[in-house]
């Protein structure tokens, strides 16, 4: 499924895709979330330190991209950092 707009259902699917990518890469978490803030999307990550870490990217760069590809392209560069937090 390619992203054409952002609504609660799309954000829920993105959230699930992020969970899958984290699990596949053995990154543990207490909680994760996906949120919108203006023209940005936010990935909220709570690891073992119980602090919420926020990673942002431009919402428009996600349009026309499949949800799985989006999850991988956002998470893969930060997986090493997330492992340190998990």
Supply the pLDDT for residue 11.
Answer: 95
The tens digit of pLDDT for each residue in 20-78 reads 999 999 999 999 999 999 999 999 999 888 899 999 999 999 999 999 999 999 999 99
In whole angstroms, what is the distance from residue 8 CA to residue 2 CA? Answer: 15
**Domain residue extents for the chain:** 8-85
CA–CA dist 42, 70 (Å, integer): 13
Yes or no: say if 57 and 74 are a contact pair by the CB < 8 Å rule: yes
pLDDT given at position 48 = 87
């Amino acid at each position: 499924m390619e992203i054409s707009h952002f609504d609660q259902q799309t954000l829920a699917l993105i959230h699930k895709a992020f969970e899958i990518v984290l699990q596949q890469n053995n990154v543990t978490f207490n909680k994760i979330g996906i949120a919108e803030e203006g023209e940005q999307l936010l990935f909220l990550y709570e690891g073992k330190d119980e602090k919420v870490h926020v990673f942002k990217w431009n919402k428009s760069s996600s349009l026309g991209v499949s949800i799985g590809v989006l999850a991988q392209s956002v998470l893969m560069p930060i997986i090493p950092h997330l492992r340190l937090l998990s």
